[in-house]
DNA sequence: CGGATTCTTGAGCATATTCAATTGTGGTGG
DNA sequence: CCACCACAATTGAATATGCTCAAGAATCCG
């Protein structure tokens, strides 16, 4: 099958968990194909990215180059729900966000975002198998991630939810800590953002984090930084640890 | 399909909410393009559809022809979470379901399901713009639906969740009731399935339904049939009503 | 350094869960 | 046709978990 007859059939990542390492590489490789068509948006914390394109309201596609963003919806009378957290390599189409639901795309970070017209992206996908497979891998990953997220807020208690969230961040953005066995990462989101992501009250979240600290799983540390003292112990607290490791575990573990 | 210079640019549904009416038409139109490659699965209630393809474990794509299916995940130590309910025209790729999470695809109904190798589907998408746009519309719709679902289980109280669920079913599968103003539809899911979808206890769900009945929004009726007496009143109970109507409201309203 | 914001923590409360008993429904066989 | 069984759905009382509200501590930024 690697005979080269059909480039798509040589794309292996579908068969196994995508390698996070290769994700940035692929993104860089796409630069050549996409750059003539993308508008680069420099993001900064709190800014609100408009989801639809200006002219004629066509659908837009966004590709996260660097940084972290949150996708939120707010239904009347309820508080905001963060529906997804986007990391580099993730894709968002404006059609993913329901209308009439006050959807927002908000950078948590300084970073870079590519925007292009959806129709252009679709055309490129049809022509270039690399673009298509990048997109489909991204969709696969994000769908799987959302499934885990739904299971977490639907079934987990607050400690399990927080552990799941921290584990996801550790796996996706963490680096092994100098004092072995641990993992360190920046917390790109505010307490309220995290609470909105987990379907928890900010107070409850704070309490839960405090308990994790006093039970020795986390370390006290600076404002926007998390030190996981024992990643294995954190994983034991999350029913989704095996699933998360299958999705993202190729970086740290 | 349409004659225009670039077929993709003639695909309008991206700009507005997709018409449910046209969904079945499009599905029928795809039959010609897909039928040489699909395996048709006749589904019956409770059966468990295996998510991966038999030979060499390649990724599979499923297209719902008729009937209703649930996609569920179960994390160790917690009860099942129904992550999505699939209706005709919906698409599921095996990569959407996280590994190590005990994912299941379960028909709630008798119906028909198409299965094909993902790589084949991707090739067809690259060649045939109608296939590609069908897929992307489906992804848009399902992503938006999942966002609403996440917001519901993350932020809504139990009555709001139930109202949201009933409204979704009414909009997607309901028919105007003989006695005007109402909507009737079959309930394809068991109480437990619904509870697992909404992140609620089955007992709580039952209580909530009872209260909706005694408050006059619903009618007492047979086992697997729901009669919404006043759709507007039901909508008033769901913070997501506007979003749901924007997504699916073109059938009943 | 001061003011604003974010985060933490406690006490009381509300909502949904648990567990168990009861009723209802559908299917099977006498 | 009815009796019976297994299973699904309903309902109540007690409990637990997370929420609300308010006060205080920590951190950021000018």
Mapped to the 3 state alphabet, what secondary structure does chain A carry? CCCCCCHHHHCCHHHCCCCHHHHHHHHHHHHHHHCCCCEEEEECCCCCECCCCCHHHCCEEEEEEECCEEEEECCCCCCCEEEEEECCCCEEEHHHCCCCCCCEEEECCCEEEEEEEHHHHHHHHHHCHHHHHHHHHHHHHHHHHHHHHHHHHHHCCHHHHHHHHHHHHHHHHCEECCCCCCEEEECCCCHHHHHHHHCCCHHHHHHHHHHHHHCCCEECCCCCEEEECCHHHHHHHCCCHHHHHHHHCCCCC
Distance of CA B184 to the CA centre of its chain: 17
State which H helix or E strand residue B148 sits in.
helix B129-155
* Cβ of residue B118 closer than 8 Å to a chain A Cβ: yes
* pTM given for the model: 0.89
Strand C bases within 7 angstroms of protein beta carbons: 6-11, 15-20, 25-26
Whether A192 sits with its Cβ under 7 A from any strand C atom: the answer reads yes
DSSP B36: T
DSSP B18: P
Res B19: pLDDT: 45
Q: Which two tokens stand for residue A162?
A: 């927080």
* Cβ of residue B104 closer than 8 Å to a chain A Cβ: no
* Cβ of residue B93 closer than 8 Å to a chain A Cβ: yes
pLDDT, tens digit (0-9, with 9 covering 90-100), for A89-136 = 999 999 999 999 999 999 998 999 999 999 999 999 999 999 999 999
Res B17: pLDDT: 39
* Cβ of residue A76 closer than 8 Å to a chain B Cβ: yes
A17 pLDDT higher than 60? no
Shortest alpha-carbon distance between residue B178 and chain A (Å): 30
Res B181: pLDDT: 72
CA distance A150 to A170: 19
Partner-chain residue, chosen from B100, B125, B132, that has the shortest CB–CB distance to A242: B100
Contact yes or no for A150 and B145 at CB 8 A: no
User: Other C-beta atoms within 10 Å of B177: how many?
Assistant: 16
The protein residue nearest C19 (Cα–C1') is B203
The A residues from 220 to 249 touching B (CB cutoff 8 Å) are 239-240, 242-243, 245-247
pLDDT, tens digit (0-9, with 9 covering 90-100), for B167-197 = 999 999 998 887 767 899 999 999 999 999 9
Of A10-24, A227-241, B122-136, the range with the lowest mean pLDDT is A10-24
> Could you tell me the end-to-end alpha-carbon distance of chain A, in angstroms, rounded to an integer?
31
To the nearest whole number, what is the mean pLDDT of chain A?
86
pLDDT, tens digit (0-9, with 9 covering 90-100), for A136-169 = 999 999 999 999 999 999 999 999 999 999 999 9
Over residues A54-82, mean pLDDT: 90
Nucleotide nearest to B190 (CA to C1'): D8
pLDDT, tens digit (0-9, with 9 covering 90-100), for B30-56 = 888 888 889 999 988 878 888 877 666
Shortest alpha-carbon distance between residue A178 and chain B (Å): 30
Looking at chain A, the whole-number percentage of residues with pLDDT higher than 70 is 87
To the nearest whole number, what is the mean pLDDT of chain B?
86
Instruction: Using CB atoms within 10 Å of the CB of residue B192, give its burial: 0 to 12 exposed, 13 to 18 middle, 19+ buried.
Output: middle
Considering only residues A3 and B69, tell me which one the structure prediction assigns the higher pLDDT: B69
Nucleotide nearest to B203 (CA to C1'): D10
**Chain B residues near residue A93 by CB distance under 8 angstroms:** 136, 139-140, 143
Nucleotide nearest to B204 (CA to C1'): C16
CA distance A232 to A241: 9
* Cβ of residue B150 closer than 8 Å to a chain A Cβ: yes
């Amino acid at each position: 099958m690697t005979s080269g007859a059909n480039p798509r059939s040589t794309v292996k990542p579908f068969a196994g968990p995508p390698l996070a390492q290769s994700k940035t590489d692929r993104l860089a490789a796409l630069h050549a194909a996409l750059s003539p068509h993308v508008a680069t948006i420099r993001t900064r914390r709190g800014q609100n990215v408009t989801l639809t394109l200006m002219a004629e309201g066509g659908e837009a596609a966004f590709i996260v180059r660097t940084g972290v963003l949150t996708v939120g919806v707010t239904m009347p009378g309820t508080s905001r729900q963060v529906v997804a957290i986007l990391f580099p390599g993730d894709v968002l189409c404006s059609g993913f966000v329901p209308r009439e639901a006050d959807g927002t795309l908000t950078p948590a970070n300084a970073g870079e975002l590519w925007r292009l017209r959806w129709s252009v992206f679709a055309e490129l996908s049809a022509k270039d198998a690399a673009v298509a497979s990048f997109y489909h891998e991204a969709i696969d990953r994000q769908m799987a991630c959302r499934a885990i997220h739904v299971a977490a807020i639907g079934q987990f208690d607050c400690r399990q939810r927080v552990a799941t969230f921290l584990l996801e961040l550790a796996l996706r953005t963490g680096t092994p800590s100098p004092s072995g066995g641990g993992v360190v990462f920046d917390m790109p989101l505010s307490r309220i953002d995290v609470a909105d992501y987990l379907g928890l009250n900010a107070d409850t979240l704070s309490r839960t984090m405090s308990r994790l600290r006093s039970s020795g799983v986390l370390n006290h540390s600076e404002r926007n930084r998390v030190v996981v003292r024992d990643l294995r112990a954190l994983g034991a607290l999350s029913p989704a640890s095996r699933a998360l490791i299958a999705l993202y575990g190729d970086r740290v573990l």
